[in-house]
Amino acid sequence: MNTTEPDTAARLHARLVDLLVSRGTVTTERVETALRTVARHPFVADASLDSAYAPDDAVVTKRDHTGAALSSASAPGVVASMLEQLDVQPGDHILEIGAGTGYNAALLAELTGPAGRVVTIDIDQDVVDGAAAALASTGYGRVEVLCADGAQGHAPAAPYDKIIVTAGAWDLPPAWWRQLAPTGRLVVPLRITGGTTRSIAFDRQGGHLVSRSMMTCGFLAMRGIGAQSEPTIALADGVTLVLGDGRTAPPEALARALDEPATRSWSGIAIPSGRTFQHLDLWLATTCQGFCRIVAQISAVETDLATPAFRWGGAAMTNETDSLAYLTIRPADVPGILFELGARAHGPHGSDLATSLMDQIQLWDKEHRDTAPRIDAHLKPCDRTHLAAMTVIEKVHTVLAVAW
């Protein structure tokens, strides 16, 4: 329980929203007003005020016996961006999947106002009890908090103008399709392929969903019937390869690939400061065969055992037998340029993989550097004739079609 003076909370709260506005994360007055109205610290009562109002940090509120996070309040910057994506209008009926602390549900209630309706679901009864109590004590007792598997949605209150999912989904289950209004919007952190996740705002267009915006994000994975594990392989102490969808356990030889000497190649492609390459991994995930991700602990980076461009999930490729290559970076010695992209490879076929990776980086640089793809989602069974020109990703219930 926070016992610090209300002044400190109010100051940190105002500073957080000011920052989100100045960064351009908050772009509409409506979201700004909601963020200024709803204090965050009552929803994360065990956290310090500094943690409650840190812009980029999630606050973990429940862990399992191994210490893995089961529930959290998402980072305020992510919450704000997803609310901008959702575009709530006064009077909207909204379903949230992943009640967590109840903070986002309170923001949704502010945005839709008294004429609207907010239903929020969590799979975990403890979490539901906590969210309901926090919502009641902050004046948002009108939010309906339910314990259920969010993959089933909540049919009695459907249709919903907006559905927002705040746990990482791998598929779009049929209930969400059935319960979303004909002109509704779904915002969901979706593992698209190879573990590459984006928060996508989908609009319903005829029988399918079309992406309107997407942003990079990381989320606790959904539990329950929609859970989908990702096979992983430990390559060395502190280095893990996360294999993509539908991949089977990799062979022993791949587990030893890092023992093989590394080769490095450099692309000549520079990343200037202030310029992002946020969709490069998605480009590689949708174009490279054998795409996967490499995760390295700081200790592994410091000893040069593995140096992925992103420590927590750098783009990589394997031939699924004995070799791998992954995206790496080196600082550039040129003013205004942050670093140069390259590939590091291990194993007998590592250099072939590095060449393929480099080819795709070059193509991305020429044609897709500043673009995000459009992603269409179709509920199965669906007509596939018009999907031929797109990269098709199979899920259990849905087909995703990616166009760059």
Ligand X SMILES: C[S@@+](CC[C@H](N)C(=O)[O-])C[C@H]1O[C@@H](n2cnc3c(N)ncnc32)[C@H](O)[C@@H]1O
Residues in contact with ligand X by CB under 6 A are 70-74, 97-98, 100-101, 103-104, 121-124, 127, 149-151, 166-167, 219-220, 222-224, 226
Q: Cβ of residue 124: shortest distance to ligand X, in angstroms?
A: 4
Tell me how far apart the alpha carbons of residues 221 and 1 are, in angstroms, rounded to a whole number. Answer: 28
Helix (H, G, I), strand (E, B) or coil at 282: helix
Closer of 155 and 234 to ligand X (Cβ) = 155
Q: Cβ of residue 73: shortest distance to ligand X, in angstroms?
A: 4
Handedness of CA 138, 143, 148, 152 (dihedral sign): negative
Residues 6 or more apart in contact with residue 337 via CB below 8 angstroms: 270, 271, 272, 273
Q: What is the 3-state secondary structure (H, E, C) of 104-154?
A: HHHHHHHHHCCCCEEEEEECCHHHHHHHHHHHHHCCCCCCEEEECCHHHCC
Residues 6 or more apart in contact with residue 155 via CB below 8 angstroms: 175, 178, 179
> Strands 160-165, 314-318: parallel, antiparallel or unpaired by DSSP?
unpaired
Active site positions, annotated: 74
Closer of 12 and 372 to ligand X (Cβ) = 12
Closer of 189 and 290 to ligand X (Cβ) = 189
Determine contact, residues 255/233, Cβ cutoff 8 Å: yes
For residue 381, the surrounding DSSP H or E stretch is none
Closer of 119 and 315 to ligand X (Cβ) = 119
Q: Cβ of residue 107: shortest distance to ligand X, in angstroms?
A: 8
- Altogether, the residues listed in the chain come to a count of 404
What's the Cα-to-Cα distance from 266 to each of 275, 300, 310, 331, 352, rounded to whole Å? 19, 21, 17, 12, 14
Q: Cβ of residue 150: shortest distance to ligand X, in angstroms?
A: 3
Closer of 54 and 315 to ligand X (Cβ) = 54
Tell me how far apart the alpha carbons of residues 101 and 122 are, in angstroms, rounded to a whole number. Answer: 10
The token pair at 171 is 């598929």
Q: Cβ of residue 168: shortest distance to ligand X, in angstroms?
A: 8
DSSP track, 324-370: EEEEEEEE-SSTTEEEEEEEEEESTTHHHHHHHHHHHHHHIIIIITT
> Taking CB positions, which residue lies at the least distance from ligand X?
100
Q: Cβ of residue 378: shortest distance to ligand X, in angstroms?
A: 22
Closer of 116 and 153 to ligand X (Cβ) = 153
